[in-house]
């Protein structure tokens, strides 16, 4: 979860840099703004997931991690609404999705270990 949080935080910086560069068309800018919001929400969710995990609320942590995965997918899908548009954050979205999935698997493994 910590790696996913670091990834999401770095991605926010990447998005902010992309937005300030003014190199993109209005559609891409709108997508980047949507992704910025999704990643900001993802950071809050990752903190909540970590808190749930530490409190041994493993089911809640897993659900939150799945929601973070959805945020990464939603960001990616936004770019595909316009034919021919490049998905500017494909690598970042893939990484967040994978890190969140790995976290979910770890939570599942930890939750199945008898106390």
pTM comes to 0.92
Q: What is the pLDDT of residue 92?
A: 97
Q: What is the pLDDT of residue 48?
A: 98
How many angstroms separate the CA atoms of 66 and 78, rounded? Answer: 18
pLDDT at 83 over 90: no
Closest CA to 35 of 20, 21, 18: 18
3-state secondary structure the chain: CHHHHHHHHHHHHHHHHHHHHCCCCHHHHHHHHHHHHHHHHHHHHHHHHHHHHHCCCHHHHHHHHHHHHHHHHHHHHHHCCCCCCCCCCHHHHHHHHHHHHHHHHHHHHHHCCCC
pLDDT in tens, 17-62: 999 998 999 999 999 999 999 999 999 999 999 999 999 999 999 9
Q: What is the pLDDT of residue 115?
A: 59
How many angstroms separate the CA atoms of 114 and 25, rounded? Answer: 54
Q: What is the pLDDT of residue 86?
A: 81
Structure tokens that stand for 28 in this block:
């891409």
């Amino acid at each position: 979860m910590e790696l996913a949080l670091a990834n999401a935080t770095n991605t926010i910086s990447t998005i902010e840099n992309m937005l300030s560069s003014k190199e993109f068309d209005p559609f891409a800018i709108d997508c980047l703004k949507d992704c910025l919001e999704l990643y900001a929400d993802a950071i809050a969710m990752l903190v909540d997931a970590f808190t749930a995990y530490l409190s041994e609320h493993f089911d809640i942590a897993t659900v939150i991690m799945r929601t973070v995965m959805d945020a990464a997918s939603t960001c990616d899908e936004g770019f595909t609404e316009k034919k021919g548009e490049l998905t500017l954050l494909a690598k970042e979205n893939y990484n967040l999705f994978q890190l969140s999935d790995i976290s979910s698997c770890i939570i599942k493994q930890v939750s199945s270990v008898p106390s």
